[in-house]
Structure 1
Amino acid sequence: MSDPRADRFVRSHLKTRHLVLLVELGRHGSILHAAQAANLTQPAASKLLGELEHALGVPLFERLPRGVVPTSYGEVLIRRAGAALSEMDAAHQEIMELLSGLSGRVAVGTVMTPSINLLPQTVQLLKSRYSRVHVSITVDSSKVLIARLRAGELDMVIGRILDSDSANELHFEPLTDEPHSLIARAGHPLVNQADLSLEQLVQEGWIMPPAGSILRDRLTALFLSHGLDQPAETVETTALPMITNLLIGSNMISALPEELVRPYIDIGLLTVLPYDLGLRMDWYGIVTRKQHKLSPGAQAMLTTLRDVAATLYQTAPAPTPAR
């Protein structure tokens, strides 16, 4: 049952220019710059912001000498305003698609591993079915991608839901987990060494993910559980070209999903060291927004993604989520 107070706010007070201003304030942190981006004067922008705060009865931004910072209430409204504007853009896109046949755009976010195999195969199959659908792909961490999905900037994400606060807004279709192996160059001195131990391995140079990442935390826990300090020689990066070049050109080692570096393993540049880390990342899957109807182009992408995932991971296609 809808809240009549919310109905009054939306119908009586909220206008499109309020939404645009909120989004620009979130981007620029300045009433002047947000007003310019929204094609408003600064007094008009200040008046619109005051109208919103008066209607809601809460402060949306903290005024500082060098700009404005959203309060917790403001953060909610900025995120929802972005999603609302994205919905209207999607409505326009969908109408254009209906007029011209299946085309349009779909924006997909993905973590690193699915970007190597799953997503390229999906795009190829989608293009063979619907050549006019334009696909935009963003590769980043799950945290960043989920935030963009909730803001309406992405249609779907292949990743993980890490924040329990956002779980109620999202639908998750699990695909597979992510076992990690110890990767090194093909001629590494430890390749043929039997009975490798973590005590030996910690003496090597390691390519590590940055502090605060899930993988880094699990590697740290692994070392600590064996009573070991962190490796003394490390390079921190998540850039795959950098990682592969460092591995090929040195004796450094790294914990990676084999799928990420399979082409290098197949041509004999990299190999898997004979040590089981026992390290598996949480399952990643397809994440979409609940109560959001995808455009025809995005729905075609989702269907194709399920088809390819069913083949790659030998699972039956997941049912279409209720919306």
Structure 2
Amino acid sequence: MAHYLEQRLKIRHLRVIDALEQHKSLLRASRALRVSQPALSRTLQEVEEIVGAEIFERHPRGVRPNATGALLTAGARKLLTTIRELEAQLDQLSDGQKRTIRVGALPVAAHGLLPALLANAGEQAAGLAISVIEGKTDQMIPALLSGEIDIIVGRLYPPSQPDDLVRRVLYDEPISLVARSDHPLFDLPAVTVADVQRYTLVLPSVSTLMERDVREILEQLGLETDAAVQSTSVGFMRELLLSGTFVSAVPRILVAGDLARDTMRILPVAVPSAPRPAGIIHRGPLGDAGKLLLAELQREIARLEESDIVESAD
């Protein structure tokens, strides 16, 4: 039976518990915490000795919390969230009127929406310090729940299980075929699917949810993807598009900067449309920094709607 938890449990114990539940693997958790795997195992052993019971079940593909572990993980996350909120309040106090917000940016928002927002930010945004962490949905949701980040911006996919998070749709994220502005396809009087098929496609990696949406659209268009170049790197995809005669199918907002600078253009090919809602995810009511970020997002989205880069969520 556990005794004197407030005296024996330390913050490093809480961080290990949270990381193991989030990453479901000793190796991945140790990498996330930047500690060696043996050191993490020793810390886990310390926690189990303090609690007086095992808290994670080992299995061939990693670890998962048992009933005791689930209870301890929930408590650890609450304590870590409180500590992080206190840290943010102390930062705000020391910065005077500066408000800080930690944004979990999904890939499209990280490379398209947020750079455009910061480039066109209004005077109110001068009082907002934004820390941006890029990741996929399955990485950002646990980080939001644990208090590592304050808000998620990007594509809103249905949750795999109820989580009590607030999801607010702000815009729709259509997908189009894009190429560099001087691509030979733009010299044609009309562009057909057969014309596009003559060029190599550059597509997001199979490990992303965006890739699933893109594949569905390309199948409907009848475009073959067997010879496509695939990458998890948006920067690599962009470099190929700008330096060669490649064609890609991506959310238009992903290349908003290139469309605005006319270094890329949307190919005049009708693409099947399906709702792709995007917006923000957060826990409970937004604080002052969250409200300020939301206002800037809405202002930038309105500007992008005028350029037909995003569509209204209504």
**So what's the TM-score if we normalise by structure 1?**
0.71
Instruction: Using the TM superposition, give the Cα deviation of residue 106 of structure 1 relative to its aligned residue in structure 2, in angstroms.
Output: 1.5
Distance 2:51 2:168 in 1: 39
Identity %: 21
Distance 1:269 1:43 in 2: 55
Instruction: Report the equivalent of 1:241.
Output: 235
SS of the residue aligned with 1:164? coil
Instruction: Report the equivalent of 2:15.
Output: 23
Distance 2:132 2:99 in 1: 14
Q: Please list, as runs of the form range in 1=range in 2, the aligned pairs for 1:87-126 lying within 5 A after superposition.
A: 87-95=82-90, 97-98=92-93, 101-103=96-98, 105-116=100-111, 118-120=113-115, 122-123=117-118
Q: Please list, as runs of the form range in 1=range in 2, the aligned pairs for 1:106-185 lying within 5 A after superposition.
A: 106-116=101-111, 118-120=113-115, 122-123=117-118, 128-129=123-124, 131=126, 133-185=128-180
Instruction: Report the equivalent of 1:282.
Output: 276
Instruction: Report the equivalent of 2:246.
Output: 252
Distance 1:183 1:122 in 2: 22
Runs of 5+ unmatched residues, structure 2: 21-28, 307-312
Instruction: Using the TM superposition, give the Cα deviation of residue 60 of structure 1 relative to its aligned residue in structure 2, in angstroms.
Output: 2.2
SS of the residue aligned with 2:184? coil
Instruction: Using the TM superposition, give the Cα deviation of residue 108 of structure 1 relative to its aligned residue in structure 2, in angstroms.
Output: 0.6
| 1:161 to 1:234, Cα distance in 2 relative to 1, 3 A | same
Distance 2:171 2:125 in 1: 27
- Give, as a single letter, the amino acid of the residue that structure 2 aligns with 1:255: A
Distance 1:196 1:310 in 2: 30
Residues paired across the two proteins, number: 290
Distance 1:43 1:273 in 2: 58
Q: Please list, as runs of the form range in 1=range in 2, the aligned pairs for 1:205-284 lying within 5 A after superposition.
A: 205-225=200-220, 228=222, 230-280=224-274, 282-284=276-278
Residues 1:189 and 2:184 aligned together: yes
SS of the residue aligned with 1:150? helix
SS of the residue aligned with 2:276? strand
| 1:209 to 1:75, Cα distance in 2 relative to 1, 3 A | farther
- Give, as a single letter, the amino acid of the residue that structure 2 aligns with 1:48: I
My pick for the range that moved more, 213-222 or 96-105, is 96-105
Instruction: Using the TM superposition, give the Cα deviation of residue 47 of structure 1 relative to its aligned residue in structure 2, in angstroms.
Output: 1.3
| 1:33 to 1:163, Cα distance in 2 relative to 1, 3 A | farther
- Give, as a single letter, the amino acid of the residue that structure 1 aligns with 2:258: Y
Distance 2:70 2:240 in 1: 41
Runs of 5+ unmatched residues, structure 1: 1-8, 54-58, 319-323
Distance 1:237 1:76 in 2: 39
- Give, as a single letter, the amino acid of the residue that structure 2 aligns with 1:235: V
Instruction: Using the TM superposition, give the Cα deviation of residue 145 of structure 1 relative to its aligned residue in structure 2, in angstroms.
Output: 2.0
Distance 1:145 1:303 in 2: 22
Instruction: Report the equivalent of 2:24.
Output: none
Instruction: Using the TM superposition, give the Cα deviation of residue 180 of structure 1 relative to its aligned residue in structure 2, in angstroms.
Output: 1.5
Superposed CA offset, 1:1-21 (max 9, x none): xxxxxxxx9xx8754826641
Partners of 1:180 and 1:280 within 8 A in 2 = no
CA RMSD of aligned residues (A): 4.0
Residues 1:48 and 2:50 aligned together: yes
| 1:120 to 1:187, Cα distance in 2 relative to 1, 3 A | closer
Please identify the structure whose Cα radius of gyration is greater: 1
Instruction: Using the TM superposition, give the Cα deviation of residue 148 of structure 1 relative to its aligned residue in structure 2, in angstroms.
Output: 1.6
Instruction: Report the equivalent of 2:26.
Output: none
Instruction: Using the TM superposition, give the Cα deviation of residue 302 of structure 1 relative to its aligned residue in structure 2, in angstroms.
Output: 4.0
Distance 2:118 2:162 in 1: 27
Distance 1:246 1:261 in 2: 13
Distance 2:88 2:133 in 1: 20
Instruction: Using the TM superposition, give the Cα deviation of residue 127 of structure 1 relative to its aligned residue in structure 2, in angstroms.
Output: 8.2
